[in-house]
Structure 1
Amino acid sequence: MTYRNSLFIILGVFILSCKKPKEKTQEKFTPVIEVNTEGYYSSKHLIEAEELVLVFEKENIKVIDFRKEQDYTKEHISGAINIWRTDIEDNSYPYRGMMAKRQQIEALFSRLGITNTDTLILYDDRGVCDAARLWWILKNYDFESVKLLNGGLKAWKKVEGPTNDEKVSVIPSNFKLPEDGSFKLWIGKDEINNILVSGKNDIILDTRNMEEFSGERQKSGATKGGRIPNSILIDWAEAIDYNGTQKFKSFDQLEQIYGSKTGSKNDAVITYCHSGVRSAHTTFVLTELLGYKNVKNYDGSWVEWSYFDELPYEQDSITRIKI
């Protein structure tokens, strides 16, 4: 071997040894995808953590942490912005929890830098029960680019999605909702009272727990315990693996839970709870996952209904618990 050839070999080895190793991108956060939509009627507004972890840093994705600020500041999905119930309530009523008007939502989203081309990913740490309320509001205003993170924060941590406690800096935008909201999933107290008076057979689902349904428990905001007459109780939490993954149950399981009490999927169904949050979750289950065609969530729910003494109600128990 000549001196010149030896020199080239030595230089080649040296260059290769000094070359910067190729960086691995998000290796830790790219688990094997095991997405199973369980045969749902639609998964358009649902996303799995395995899917989100691959796209959450994209420019047109806005992740929204729908929890109280003190929970958000402890830990949240990296890059998530924070919204809570009080941000999307109309405070002009003498009781709490009513859906915010169009202008309030537009101002909130503009302040948070949300644009009309963004896809919103909503999550919480309660089986997306709270997050479903924002989905429901936006659905009524015909804004469709919304997905619930199945299993919420718990599912995100399971796939080792990144979290931190940093507040996100935003650039204000000019967000606008579609001109004419359809309010296709909304119903008010007067409409429900007319249904009761007329004797129509609309199915009224109470999505609270048994203590609230019976009247034994009166939660803060309500003026009395009880329920809307002719209500059928199906606790919202029946729809998820509450003590486990907090994900939605399978299509077959949900069919078994709701099918025996709701009849045809073309029948009129009204959902309500204490303030329209848990019932928004049930509305998501019925319309998106099971394919019910005529479901409306009562915005004011028991907080509003109990406020008006002239509205009828039923009670099985003396109210013993007030919280």
Structure 2
Amino acid sequence: MLDLVEQYGASDLHLKVGRPPVLRVAGELLAQNGWQPLDAADLSRLFCEVSDESQRARFEAQPELDLSCTIDGGSRLRVSASRQRGAIAMTWRRIPSTVPSLDDLRLPSVCKELIMRPRGLVLVTGPAGSGKSTTLAAMIEHLNERKAARIVTCEDPIEYLLEDKRALITQREVGVDTPSAAGAVRAALRQDPDVIVVSELRDMDTIDAALTAAETGHLVLSTLHTAGAAQTIDRLVDVFPPHLQQQTRTILADVLEGILSQALIPTADGQGRVAAVEVLLASTAVRNLIREGKTPQIPGVMETNQRQGMRSMDQALVDLYRRANVTAEAISTVTSNPERLQNLVQGR
């Protein structure tokens, strides 16, 4: 199975009863019709190969499970297991054995500046499968190589295994090392952290804990499944009940350092994907807009402050089109305003 993933350079491998394996290659599904369809016994056996006894017990009790594992040869996998029509179904994602650098990922140079901030909240956002976890790991590794910092992570599940370099890193996994992400963040505050990493801000308790950690002088890094900077701010505020939303805006305006919103664009040669990254930095103007609840004005601020390192998603897409091997058609699938993007491409 893993040889198949390696051969095609696939990002994901989908396994279900009644179908041969299906790969996702450069964003497109590719069925392996030369393989025999998998049966329930195949899926059960494969699940046992990638899980331990405690994980199988959790899956029996609640049949949705995210896990990561190291298999023969040192390969790492992220596995999402569920049940469909009474049988196991899985999606495997192979995790590279080494963390890519920010330069390898061709991310904006501002990423290197944000990760070196002494405190505040830095977020990486984007749809599922947009490379958020990889970007987050690359940022942590950049810090690890350059600063003697105490880093505590809370992950669900742990993907990249990080080795101490200049930093001292503790990696905790939800369901294995801690019962909840919010609890792990609050516990981390008592563990002398400089940096707290949360793999995803999924609920109000975790968001509240992360904001508290940033407010008390720590650098907090996390991800959200949101499509842009303005939507990210609204999501963080809207999870709270109405009577707490203004307070949340005020805290967020004070602690936010930056938001990187990314999307992966297939290259013209079909050999891979590259990231287009929108950048919001917490300037005085941005902080005031957050505090006043005027998030619809934020895209305009990004577009007019490129010299400060900001850029909208449309600006990022045009930049990618001009310097990378991507087509106008490919970038048009990401924008929310195709006509405006076309004008930017044509320099109008």
TM range (shorter): under 0.3
Structure number with the higher helix fraction is 2
Q: TM-score, normalised on structure 1?
A: 0.24
